[in-house]
Amino acid sequence: MARRDTRDDNTQTDFGFRSVGTAEKTRMVRDVFDSVAGSYDLMNDLMSGGVHRLWKAALIDRLNPQPGQTLLDLAGGTGDIAQRFLARTKQGGRVIVCDINESMIRVGRDRALDRGIVGDITWLVGNGETLPVASSSVDCVTISFGLRNVTRKDEALAEAWRVLKPGGRFLCLEFSRVEAPLFRRAYDLYSFNLLPRIGGVVAKDRDSYQYLVESIRRFPPQQELATMMETAGFEQVSYRNLSGGIAAIHSGWRL
């Protein structure tokens, strides 16, 4: 099982463009997603023009789920990836959804129940840095648009490696670094000017979406994240850019 967390929480880290204590960031991220849980999927559709659905489909295609596999989906509270995984395994798989936000877990569990999905998903409230999951117990681990919100990303990657069975695969879908300079400038204008306004109107929470935009800019670029994965123990690490680098899928294996 996961080791006990005995670390000192007095160090500083980023919360968007602000510097905060590590313990404070965990609380602040939880508050953000408590605020936006009910409108999270709708906001994803509005912010990306629905393209996030294509990105998630690409993630599942790359994972290529097989019947009988167990997936651990981190920061997967709304159950989107879990339901896509089960659809591909024809209900022959099992998913553990782990999210630090109980409010997100409630949203996902309710939606799964509404669709008649009961026994194939286990819902856990837990921190990705100290997962309440046994070592070498799952076939694959995914995290979609969640790693950038983790305080200690290196420890979350190490935990993902720990819980994977030998031969298991880790996939991370996350916003990344846009490659073309002109496209990057246009994307920045859209992100910083429109997304917080949309969040203010639809989710009634401009500040949370301001943080989410800033957290994207603080996230490691593609090659840096690949190196972090290798440091955590993953092998055959690779990544694929989506939509010019707005997002990227990183892949690594525990061999």
Q: Worst-scoring range by mean pLDDT, 10-14, 98-102, 165-169, 219-223?
A: 10-14
Q: At 173, which CATH number?
A: 3.40.50.150
Domain-located, residue 7 = no
Q: How many CB atoms lie within 10 A of CB 253?
A: 19
Domain-located, residue 177 = yes
Domain-located, residue 87 = yes
Looking at residue 9, its pLDDT comes to: 55
Number of compact structural domains in the chain: 1
**In 3-state terms, the chain is what percent helix, strand and coil (to 5)?**
50, 25, 30
Looking at residue 125, its pLDDT comes to: 95
Average pLDDT of the segment spanning 42-62: 89
Cβ density class 221-242: b for 16+ within 10 Å, e for less: ebeebbebbeebbbeebebeeb
**Phi, psi (rounded to 5 degrees) for 165:** -70, 150
Q: Which domain holds residue 109?
A: 12-254
pLDDT tier at 10, thresholds 50, 70, 90: low
Q: pLDDT for 85-98, tens place per residue? A: 999 998 789 999 99
pLDDT at 6 over 80: no
Average pLDDT of the segment spanning 220-227: 97
Most confident of 175-179, 190-194, 230-234: 230-234
Nearest to 235 by CA among 178, 161, 163, 185: 161
Domain-located, residue 110 = yes
Domain-located, residue 2 = no
Domain-located, residue 202 = yes
Q: Worst-scoring range by mean pLDDT, 14-28, 129-143, 207-221, 233-247?
A: 14-28
Domain-located, residue 1 = no
Domain-located, residue 179 = yes
Q: Is the pTM of this model over 0.75?
A: yes
Average pLDDT of the segment spanning 214-232: 95
